[in-house]
Structures are given as structure tokens and as C-alpha cells.
Amino acid sequence: MRTPIIAGNWKLNKTVDEALALARDLKGKLSALDDIEIILAPPFTALAPLATALNDSAIVLAGQNCYPTEGAFTGEISPALLRDVGCRAVIIGHSERRHLFAESDDFINQKIKAALSAGLKVIFCIGETLTERNENRTFEVLESQTRNGLAGLDRAAMCRLTVAYEPVWAIGTGQTASNEQAQEAHRYIRNLLAKMVDSSTAENTRILYGGSVKPDNVDGLMAQSDIDGALVGGASLKAGDFIRIARFKRN
């Protein structure tokens, strides 16, 4: 039985005060949910204050990105510094990083290795563009992003990794993948992990769906057998919407 994860990616939104207000609201209303994991990824500036505000709750703090090494890399953040400020996880390979900041599979692979060796859990994002889907290349893209992004990781490393399937055409567009499209992609990813690692690791790996998850579509998505949670962008910025998503209806 895989424990569901509902993760909020706040992207480049929320001042410290706004972030604290949202986090306190969520903490008060989500603390009764002990059978799911809640992860929040605020902007870097809000991490330290949120770590303090959430230190008596089970909500996990995550970075939205990291750089693979430390030193003279102006403007970057390392896994060790994320840990230092209270993060237990980090999002790596988000499509906005891949497409707006031209991050390659190889660079993403370096970041994953650095984050895992610093003791962070990783939410590894993959997903096809609309053109790739229309050209019937979805599975090919998912396979190459997964094989290249996870190259060289052993079974123990895979146990600390969560995959997020985020079709690029569904992110921030209001256009969600249908339940069937999402389930088909998740099943494909799980089968691929079984081939790459082994079937028990694949069965235990949480695969989240991301891309315009909202209160009115979460129940259908979460009813799919290979969808183990959601990575939520826009709807995670409003307490009411995120709480409703975290309280998705169980079968």
C-alpha cells in the first residue's frame, strides 16, 4: 500500500508573511490527515520561517530546485543548504526548469545524485510537451527522461525517490490530462521502473500526477490505480483548494 502524497509547489509566489499565513492555515486544517503525506515547496525566502512554523507538524518542506555542487555558483542553492534550513525533500526536473532554464537530463541526474547524498528525498518530474504527445512520442520521451535522469542510481537511492508525471501541456493551462491519459502514463512509468530496477521497487514508488490538479478533478485522478498523489501548482496557493485536494475522496 503506497501512502499518497499531496505536494504544493508555490513556485515564485508568496512573501514571507503570505507564506506563513498559508502554512499556518494548512497546518491547522491538515494535521488530522495522518494517512497521507503533505509536502510544501515555498520559495527559498520562506523556507526558514516555515520550518519554524511547521516544526511541530508532519508537513514536509521541500526546495523547488537545487544545484549539484557547492562553491562559486552565484545565485544557486545546494542540497546541504536546503537541509540546513529544514527541508527534507527537493523537486528536481520540473518542466519549467527543463524548458525555461534549458536543464538537460544529465544536469538533472547530477542534481538528483547530489540531493540524495545530502539526505534529501527527491520528487523527480518528467513529462511530454503537446507536440511530443501529438507526434505519439509520449512514451519515448518518458522513457528517455527517466532512464537518463535516473542513470546510475541504485535500488536504495530509488527508494528515496518519488516520480511526478507532469504533462507540460497541462501545467498552468487549466487543461488536465484525462484520468485515462494520466493512468496510462503512470502505468507505463511503473512498468519502466520495474524493468530498470525491480518490480517491488516499482510497486513501492509513489508516482504523482501534476498539471492543473483542482478540487473538481482530483477525485477522478486519485481513483486511478497507479496515481499515488498530486503535485499541485496554482491550486496550492489557496488554502481552501489545497485542503480539498488533500481530502480527495477515497474509493
- Is 135 known to be catalytic? no
Q: What share of the chain is helix, strand, coil (3-state, %, to 5)?
A: 45, 15, 40
244 burial level (CB within 10 Å; 0-12, 13-18, 19+): middle
- Provide the minimum distance between the beta carbon of 214 and ligand PGA in the complex, in angstroms, as a whole number: 8
Using rule CB under 6 A, residue 166 touches ligand PGA? yes
Asked if residues 215 and 246 have their Cβ atoms less than 8 Å apart, the reply is no
Instruction: Count other Cβ atoms within 10 Å, centred on residue 135.
Output: 12
Q: Candidates 26-34, 139-147, 230-238, 241-249: pick the segment binding ligand PGA (CB under 6 A).
A: 230-238
- Is 166 known to be catalytic? yes
Pick one of 79, 149, 167, 234: the residue that binds ligand PGA (CB under 6 A). Answer: 234
Strand stretches in 75-193, DSSP E: 89-92, 121-126, 161-165
List 96, 103, 132, 166, catalytic entry: 166
What whole-number distance in Å separates Cα of residue 15 and Cα of residue 232? 19
Using rule CB under 6 A, residue 132 touches ligand PGA? no
Pick one of 150, 211, 243, 248: the residue that binds ligand PGA (CB under 6 A). Answer: 211
Pick one of 112, 126, 189, 232: the residue that binds ligand PGA (CB under 6 A). Answer: 232
Q: Give the type of residue at 233.
A: G
The residue sitting closest to ligand PGA, measured at its beta carbon, is 233
Residue 22 or 171 having the CB closest to ligand PGA: 171
Using rule CB under 6 A, residue 62 touches ligand PGA? no
Q: Candidates 58-66, 77-85, 116-124, 208-216: pick the segment binding ligand PGA (CB under 6 A).
A: 208-216
Asked if residues 133 and 178 have their Cβ atoms less than 8 Å apart, the reply is no
Active-site positions read: 94, 166
